[in-house]
Each structure stands twice: as structure tokens, then as C-alpha cells.
């Protein structure tokens, strides 16, 4: 059994240290008020037993709470009072400079929580450590100066989660849809260098990747670009190549036909498309932003986003090449092709590509092959999203955050160039457990927590107000999001629906189970789940009407927070079967990962909750290796097209560097009960000698996960 120290270091549980602490406290009171040796033994034994029953490694604060309670049970109240006073004084000392131990432990790479905080950051690398150091300082400033104490307390207790506190001290927003069209067609400035409209497809790709890197360093969330914005530059290259080919042939004394010129030029076009797509893929993967990781970028592939004709055919060529290169993968250090985390790909299923015989059916088959091998692309149904978004089809920002529908001053729909102000997530499970099953009390506590969330979200909004465009010129002045003047604030972009701000929610499944005794998939319990969702949506609409700020309900993608929430719930309410008995809680509205359900029923069931999560939602199905069964992938894709807005298939494509095994690397428990990864062939357990890719929050992670998320991955059932 292990414990987690305040610095985040995980060490072996030692009951002697508890005994020593109690004995020291014992000497602080008169002899007639002290515990006997036998009573001390009972305290230590009871605390040890309580720790062993937990489903996670306890932290120091949890153990001290147990010690405090056990001392009280021995009716030595003076000793208990002294123990509480001592803890309080030590807490004051720690708060006077709360970052030192945390920073030192991450520098020494022995902070277990930081090591597994982000599945796409390597905490050993200097740039990542620098980002984490800055993050610790930002979190400390945020806790002590920038947020009201009750919001900080609610965050630390796990009642809510104030996302990305490590970036809150700066005036930074969350995620965005990049207006690459504006930047490419009208020129931009990158690092104080004027970039004119590109004169070839390859140059457009190069500018796009440079912009992606700059944007990633100016915000803390995901960004999305669409291939539609670079597709017009294929024709620019085509016309250039046609002129060059004709000139070359005429220089040799030939009089080439238009057909010959076109055919020779097209060969060069295809070669340039391949090189341009390769540039996007490899630069995104190899670029290191200021936060110590590759840019979190999503690439949108939507044929109907451009007019029918040459431009659409060119877009199809780009999409085809993007899929072919992702199927191939990228080489690891041993030269073996593996699954990369980024860029994330989204392919739109539409009338012209969803059935055999449609114009772009072969492109859809290629997408299915890519999903079977590399887990991407994910799929948006044009038919369903248009029903939910006033006839519009557009990408999410990053992994799932969707903008609300918005029209500009000319009454034109606008999505690219917009952004999200930030997220605060509501722990629905805690509301249920706090009310003890009393439905009237449930809604009362719900209102109290929502009021808290609104205040926390307004802190985010107020933090962005007054931000001058100069803090991130590429975003606010040079076209990625706006064309503001120097010195002009971004305030006008925070109101009227131009940007969104997100109320997240987590644990709907466990919440409903506690209140009804049934899964939210049970027809008797589903109405209550939907009632909660409607209430959250109505609350967002009410807030928007009162503030002119676009509040939107968001199905939160918990990563490390799933473990935090579960530990907080267990500390507050103990182990409740089916509710708090895991080291994780369920993301947003999802069906519990352990619940048997087939892929088609799962997607159909979850579609009704996607409709009620306008600020962001994604559903998934767990499937086995389907590389030899692409027809099964296609059948799921066609079901997505008919039933749900946004979904993905989770396949397995791991690699063991020791024995060369490819497939699924397993999760097992070691002798201490800790979950670890093991190759099923050679039993290799060295994480540094394996490549594992799993989707955890709508995007693929490749740097492993904390114990809570690892348990969730281990317990997932197959849906196909």
C-alpha cells in the first residue's frame, strides 16, 4: 500500500510514522489527558485498516483526517484539539510558500501526480518541466489571489473543477477555430514577419503549420483547422505547373497539346499534395510549443464545405493523401511505424460519400481503413449536425468543444475565428451523494452548485476582459481570430455569442444510479437523466439572457480530473457500490465503461444527450482489431451518419520495443496493487520500451495515465 505525500511523491505506507506523530502530539498535553500505548496502537491499527479499504493511494491530508477522528473516538479531546491546532499552524506555514516542494519534486521527476497529469506530455523533458513550473506558480497565485476562497475550496473538495488553473494567471483563452482562410488569402504576420498570400499549395501548408505552432503557444486548449482553407491553393500550384511544363516543352522545340500539358502538370500537383500533407503531419508532430508538447490540433475534412467542381475534387485529393499518410503512421526511435497522437482528424459523413456508388465512397472506405488501424479519423454526421446547428456543419475546437451558432453583423453564419473563454465543471455525483437520495434536496443543492459555477465562470470572463490584442498578435491582430488594432482590447469578442464559455458536467451515470438505483440506460431512469440535462441547458440560457455571454453546456472530457473527483467522493462519502467504488467517474453523459451494450445501441442512446450538450460532446465505441474487417467499421460509420452527431471508434495499435509485438498491451496489477502496463508476449513492463496509444478524452494519449484513468481503460468492455 502506498501514500501520496504533499509534494505529489508516491511512497510506501509506513504505520510507524503515524505512531510517531501521535506520540509527539501525546507529549503536548498533561499526563492524565494522554493516550495509553494501547490506545495509540488502536488509533494506528484503525487508520491502517481504513487506508487499506480505499480504492486509491491516500494522501497525507486524508490520513491526518483519519488520525484526528480516531483520537476523538478515544475521548482525549485536549489531545485532539492540540493535534488540530498543530495541523492548522503547519498549514499556514505551507501556504506562505506553497509551491516549493511541488516544483522541486517535479524537477527531480518523482512527483507521481505530475508524471501522469497529461497523457501527451513527457515530464522529464526540460520544456515540459518549465511549463509545469510556471503552472505551479500560476496555480498558487490563482488560489491565493485571483479566485474567491469558496471557489478554491469547492475546487479542492471536488465539488467543481476549475479547469486549467495553471494558465489562469495569464490572460489566455481556451480553444478556437482558426480562420486560416483569412490568414492565407489576406496575408498575416508571424513573429513580426510579413507573410503574403502563398503562391503554391506547399507554401500554404508551410504557413499553416507555422501558424498552428504560434497559436498553440498563445492559448491553452485545442485548435482546429479545415483543409477547405488550403484546398484553393492546389489550383494555384496547378496553374503554375502548367505554365512551367508548357515553357519547358516549348524550350525543347515542342508544340505540346493542352491535354499533354495538363497530364504532366497533374503529376507535379499530386507530388506537391503529398509533400504538403507530409509537411503538415510531420511538423505538427515534431513541433514543440512553449507548453512542452506538440500542438493540440484537429484537422477537419469536409467535402461539402467547398463548391462542387475542381475545388471539391482537389479537397478530395488532399483528404485522400492525409488518410494514406496516417494509415502509414510515423516512425518511432526504432524506425517502426506507430500511431501518432496528433493531428487529430475528423471526417464528415455526407450524402455524397456514405453509400457505395456515391461519388466519394472510396474516400470513405479509406477513412474506415485508417480508423481500423490508427483510431482516426473521428466522424461527424452532416445530416445530424445540421439538424442540431441550424443547418450548419462545422468542426469542434480540439477534441469536442463546439461553438454555438452565430451570425455576424451581415447576417452571415460565422464559425472560424471564434473561440471559447474557458470551462468550469460540475460534479454531478457529489450533488447526488450530498442530498442522500432526497429529490427535493437534490435540486436545492444543484442550484447552489450552479450558482457557484456561474461565479467561477464569470471569474474566467472577467480575467479576459480588458485583455489588449497585443498579448497575442497572431490571434487578435493578424487574422487567426480577429483583426483588431494594436492596443485595442478583445472585449467586444466576449459578448453577443461571438465566443462561448462552458459549463461542464461529469458523472451523470453515477449520479442517476445513486438517485434511482438504476443505470441511466434503464428506461425507468433515463427520464431523470434527461431532466438533469434539460435543467442544465435551461440554466445556461438563463445566464446568457442575463449577461449577453454565450454560456453553453459541455460534456467534460475528464483526464486526470476523473481520478481527483473519485478520491474526493470517497473521502467525503466512503465507498458506495456502483457510485464511488471506482478510481474514476464517468465522463459527461457516457454509458459506464463496464456496462454491456452493443455499439449501435450505445450510439443511439447517447445521441439524445449529445443534442443536450450543445457546447461539446463526443461518443465512442470500443472495438477489437478490425483491420481485417473494414466492413464492420463501415457499418458503424453508416449508423453514425443516421443517428448521432459526433462519434469515434477506439481500436488498439500498441507496440512493444523489446519483442516487436503489435496489438494490445495489457494492464495488470503489480505486487503493491498498482496498475501497470505489460506486453502479453514477452512480459515487458518498462513503459519507456513500449508505445501505447489510447483515446481517453476524445483525443489520443501516448504518455500513459494516472491510476484512475488507467483503471477506467482496463475496465472498458467491447461494444462490437
**Among the options 112, 113, 382, 559, which is catalytic?**
559
Question: Measured between alpha carbons, how far is 447 from 431 in angstroms, rounded to an integer?
Answer: 10
C-alpha cell at 595: 456496462
Question: Measured between alpha carbons, how far is 132 from 138 in angstroms, rounded to an integer?
Answer: 10
**Among the options 175, 176, 433, 656, which is catalytic?**
175
Active site (annotated) includes residue 578: no
Question: Measured between alpha carbons, how far is 612 from 554 in angstroms, rounded to an integer?
Answer: 9
Question: Measured between alpha carbons, how far is 428 from 441 in angstroms, rounded to an integer?
Answer: 13
Residue with cell 494594436: 486
Question: Measured between alpha carbons, how far is 580 from 378 in angstroms, rounded to an integer?
Answer: 31
The sign of the CA dihedral 345, 349, 350, 356 is: positive
Nearest 10 degrees: Cα torsion 445, 451, 455, 461 = 120
**Among the options 399, 453, 533, 679, which is catalytic?**
399
Q: Which residues pair with 397 in a beta bridge?
A: 401
Query: On the CB side of 356, how many CA atoms lie within 13 Å of its CA?
Result: 3
Contact indicator for 586, 603 with CB cutoff of 8 Å: no
Strand pairing class (662-663; 500-506)? unpaired
Strand pairing class (654-656; 690-691)? antiparallel
Nearest C-alpha neighbor of 556 from the set 614, 504, 609: 504
**Among the options 82, 105, 118, 174, which is catalytic?**
174
Active site (annotated) includes residue 706: no
Active site (annotated) includes residue 559: yes
C-alpha cell at 260: 499533354
**Among the options 394, 554, 584, 646, which is catalytic?**
554
Contact indicator for 641, 607 with CB cutoff of 8 Å: no
Active site (annotated) includes residue 698: yes
Those residues with Cβ within 8 angstroms of residue 34's Cβ, 6 or more apart along the chain or in another chain: 26, 27, 76, 79
Question: Measured between alpha carbons, how far is 402 from 177 in angstroms, rounded to an integer?
Answer: 9
Question: Measured between alpha carbons, how far is 312 from 83 in angstroms, rounded to an integer?
Answer: 72
Using DSSP, state whether 388 is helix, strand or coil: helix
Question: Measured between alpha carbons, how far is 23 from 17 in angstroms, rounded to an integer?
Answer: 10
Strand pairing class (297-301; 223-226)? parallel
Helices (H) then strands (E): counts for the chain: 24, 24
Exposed (0-12), middle (13-18) or buried (19+): which is 272, by Cβ within 10 Å?
buried
Active site (annotated) includes residue 32: no
Nearest 10 degrees: Cα torsion 630, 636, 639, 641 = -70
**Among the options 507, 698, 701, 708, which is catalytic?**
698
Whole-Å CA distances, 380 to 392, 396, 710: 12, 10, 28
C-alpha cell at 561: 480530473
Upstream peptide bond of 377 is cis (omega within 30 degrees of 0):
yes
Contact indicator for 182, 417 with CB cutoff of 8 Å: yes
DSSP secondary structure string for all residues of 676-699: EEE-TTT----GGGEE--EESSSS
Active site (annotated) includes residue 304: no
C-alpha cell at 202: 506547399
C-alpha cell at 675: 496498475
**Among the options 26, 82, 118, 401, which is catalytic?**
401
Active site (annotated) includes residue 52: no
Q: Which helix (H) or strand (E) holds 177?
A: strand 176-177
Active site (annotated) includes residue 176: no
C-alpha cell at 315: 479537397
C-alpha cell at 210: 507555422
Active site (annotated) includes residue 397: yes
**Among the options 228, 291, 353, 420, which is catalytic?**
420
Q: Which residues pair with 381 in a beta bridge?
A: 349
Task: Give catalytic residue positions.
Answer: 174-175, 397, 399, 401, 420, 554, 559, 698
Amino acid at each position: 500500500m502506498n501514500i501520496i505525500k504533499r509534494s505529489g511523491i508516491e511512497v510506501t505506507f509506513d504505520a510507524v510514522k503515524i505512531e510517531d506523530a501521535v506520540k509527539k502530539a501525546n507529549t503536548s498535553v498533561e499526563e492524565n489527558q494522554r493516550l495509553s500505548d494501547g490506545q495509540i496502537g488502536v488509533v494506528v491499527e484503525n487508520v491502517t485498516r481504513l487506508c487499506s479499504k480505499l480504492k486509491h493511494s491516500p494522501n497525507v491530508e486524508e490520513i491526518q483526517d483519519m488520525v484526528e477522528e480516531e483520537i476523538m473516538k478515544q475521548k482525549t479531546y485536549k489531545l485532539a484539539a492540540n493535534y488540530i491546532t498543530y495541523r492548522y499552524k503547519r498549514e499556514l506555514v505551507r501556504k506562505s510558500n506553497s509551491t516549493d516542494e511541488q516544483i522541486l519534486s517535479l524537477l527531480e521527476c518523482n512527483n507521481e501526480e505530475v508524471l501522469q497529469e497529461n497523457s501527451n506530455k513527457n515530464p522529464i523533458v526540460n520544456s515540459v518541466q518549465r511549463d509545469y513550473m510556471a503552472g505551479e506558480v500560476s496555480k498558487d497565485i490563482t488560489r491565493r489571489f485571483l479566485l474567491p476562497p469558496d471557489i478554491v475550496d469547492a475546487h479542492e473538495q471536488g465539488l467543481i473543477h476549475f479547469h486549467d488553473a495553471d494558465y489562469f494567471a495569464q490572460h489566455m483563452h481556451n480553444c478556437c477555430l482558426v480562420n486560416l482562410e483569412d490568414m492565407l488569402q489576406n496575408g498575416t504576420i508571424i513573429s513580426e514577419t510579413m507573410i503574403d498570400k502563398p503562391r503554391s499549395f506547399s507554401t500554404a501548408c508551410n504557413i499553416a503549420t507555422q501558424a498552428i505552432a504560434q497559436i498553440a503557444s498563445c492559448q491553452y486548449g485545442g485548435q482546429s483547422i479545415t483543409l477547405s482553407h488550403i484546398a484553393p491553393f492546389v489550383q494555384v500550384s496547378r496553374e503554375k505547373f502548367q505554365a512551367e511544363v508548357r515553357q519547358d516543352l516549348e524550350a525543347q522545340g515542342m508544340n505540346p497539346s493542352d491535354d499533354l500539358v495538363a497530364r504532366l502538370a497533374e503529376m507535379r500537383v499530386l507530388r506537391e499534395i503529398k509533400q504538403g500533407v507530409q509537411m503538415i503531419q510531420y511538423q505538427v508532430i515534431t513541433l514543440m510549443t512553449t507548453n512542452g508538447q506538440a500542438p493540440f490540433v484537429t484537422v477537419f475534412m469536409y467535402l461539402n464545405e467547398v463548391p462542387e467542381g475542381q475545388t471539391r475534387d482537389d479537397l478530395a485529393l488532399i483528404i485522400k493523401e492525409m488518410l494514406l499518410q496516417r494509415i502509414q503512421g510515423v516512425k518511432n526511435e526504432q524506425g517502426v511505424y506507430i500511431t501518432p497522437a496528433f493531428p487529430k482528424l475528423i471526417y464528415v459523413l455526407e450524402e455524397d460519400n456514405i453509400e457505395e456508388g456515391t461519388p466519394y465512397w472510396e474516400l470513405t472506405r479509406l477513412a474506415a481503413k485508417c480508423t481500423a488501424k490508427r483510431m482516426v479519423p473521428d466522424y461527424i454526421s452532416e445530416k445530424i449536425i445540421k439538424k442540431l446547428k441550424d443547418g450548419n456543419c462545422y468542426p469542434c475546437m480540439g477534441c469536442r468543444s463546439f461553438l454555438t451558432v452565430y451570425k455576424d453583423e451581415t447576417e452571415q453564419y460565422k464559425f472560424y475565428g471564434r473561440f471559447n473563454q474557458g470551462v468550469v465543471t460540475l460534479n454531478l455525483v457529489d450533488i447526488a451523494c450530498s442530498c442522500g437520495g432526497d429529490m427535493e434536496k437534490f435540486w436545492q443543492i444543484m442550484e447552489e452548485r450552479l450558482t457557484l459555477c456561474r461565479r467561477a465562470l464569470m471569474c474566467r470572463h472577467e480575467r479576459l476582459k480588458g485583455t489588449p490584442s497585443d498579448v497575442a498578435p497572431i490571434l487578435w491582430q493578424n487574422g487567426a481570430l480577429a483583426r483588431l488594432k494594436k492596443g485595442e482590447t478583445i472585449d467586444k469578442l466576449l459578448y453577443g455569442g461571438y465566443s462561448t464559455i462552458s459549463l461542464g458536467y461529469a458523472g451523470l451515470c453515477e449520479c442517476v444510479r445513486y438517485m434511482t438505483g438504476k443505470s441511466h440506460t434503464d428506461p425507468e431512469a433515463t427520464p431523470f437523466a434527461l431532466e438533469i440535462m434539460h435543467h442544465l441547458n435551461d440554466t445556461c440560457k438563463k445566464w446568457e439572457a442575463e449577461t449577453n455571454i454565450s454560456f453553453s453546456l459541455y460534456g467534460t472530457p475528464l483526464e486526470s480530473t476523473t481520478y481527483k473527483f473519485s478520491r474526493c467522493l470517497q473521502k467525503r462519502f466512503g465507498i458506495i457500490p456502483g457510485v464511488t467504488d471506482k478510481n474514476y467517474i464517468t465522463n459527461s453523459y457516457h454509458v459506464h465503461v463496464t456496462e454491456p451494450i452493443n455499439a449501435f445501441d450505445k450510439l443511439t442512446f447517447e445521441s439524445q444527450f449529445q443534442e443536450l450538450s450543445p457546447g461539446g460532446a463526443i461518443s465512442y465505441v470500443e472495438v477489437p482489431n478490425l483491420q481485417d474487417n473494414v466492413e464492420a467499421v463501415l457499418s458503424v460509420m453508416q449508423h453514425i451518419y443516421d443517428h448521432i452527431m459526433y462519434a469515434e471508434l477506439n481500436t488498439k495499435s500498441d507496440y512493444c520495443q523489446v519483442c516487436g509485438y503489435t496489438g494490445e498491451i495489457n494492464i495488470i496489477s503489480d505486487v503493491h496493487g498498482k496498475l501497470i502496463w505489460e506486453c502479453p508476449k514477452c512480459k515487458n513492463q518498462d513503459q519507456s520500451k513500449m508505445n501505447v496509444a489510447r483515446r481517453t478524452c476524445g483525443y489520443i494519449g501516448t504518455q500513459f495515465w494516472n491510476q484512475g484513468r488507467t483503471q477506467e481503460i482496463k475496465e472498458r468492455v467491447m461494444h462490437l
